[in-house]
Structure 1
Amino acid sequence: MKFRRLISLLIIAAILIAFFTNPREADFSKFIQPTAGRVSSPPLIEYESKLIYANASVTYFSPVSEQGKLMAAASKEKYIGVFGRFWRINN
């Protein structure tokens, strides 16, 4: 019984810590700023905050000229934020 109670308290503590350290959109903008500064056009940032974590995706555009037509090549990166940090999700 004590083991179950200890595990339950640890899970509740982890959820509370994740809730209070949930990163904000401004934190993500600061996190992505060094990478965003290296591209020619500003990236498109989509940010969604959940109760204890956050999802963010960044779309980078780079203009490409092909056969006299101007096009945009795009790449997308996804991130998850929890405990005040962001990690890249490889798809």
Structure 2
Amino acid sequence: MKFRRLISLLIIAVILIAFFTNPKEADFHQFVKPDMGKVQSAPLIEYESRLIYSNATVTYFNPASVEGKIIAAANKEKYIGVFGVFGVSIINAG
């Protein structure tokens, strides 16, 4: 019985720590700021804050002109933020 109580308390503690250290949108902008200077046009950032973690999708555009028409190739990167830090998710959108 003590083992279950200990595990339950540890799980609750981890969830509370994740809740209070959930990164904000300003933290994400500081995280991707060095990458933004390397592209020609400003990327599109979609940020979503959940209860204990955050999701962000950054779409980078590379404009080009082909036969007088302007086209843009896009690359998406997905990030997840938990415990106050961001990291690239395992599955990139591509």
TM range (shorter): over 0.9
> How many Å separate the matches in 2 of 1:42 and 1:66?
21
**What RMSD, in angstroms, separates the aligned Cα atoms of the two structures?**
0.8
Instruction: State the number of aligned residues.
Output: 91
Deviation of the 1:64 alpha carbon: 1.4
Deviation of the 1:58 alpha carbon: 0.2
Q: Partner of 1:67 in structure 2?
A: 67
Q: Which amino acid counterpart does residue 77 of structure 1 have in structure 2?
A: E
**Unaligned residue ranges in structure 2 (runs of 5+):** none
1:76 aligned onto 2:76: yes
TM-score, normalised relative to structure 2? 0.93
> How many Å separate the matches in 2 of 1:48 and 1:7?
30
> How many Å separate the matches in 2 of 1:54 and 1:64?
33
Q: Partner of 2:33 in structure 1?
A: 33
Deviation of the 1:36 alpha carbon: 1.0
Q: Partner of 1:54 in structure 2?
A: 54
Deviation of the 1:67 alpha carbon: 2.3
Would you identify which runs of 4 or more consecutive aligned residues in structure 1 move more than 6 Å? Answer: none
Among the aligned pairs, what percent are the same residue? 70
**Unaligned residue ranges in structure 1 (runs of 5+):** none
Deviation of the 1:44 alpha carbon: 0.4
The one-character-per-residue Cα deviations of 1:17-56 (angstroms, maximum 9, x if unpaired) are: 0000000000000000001111011100000000100010
Q: Partner of 1:86 in structure 2?
A: 86
Q: Which amino acid counterpart does residue 43 of structure 1 have in structure 2?
A: P
Q: Partner of 1:16 in structure 2?
A: 16
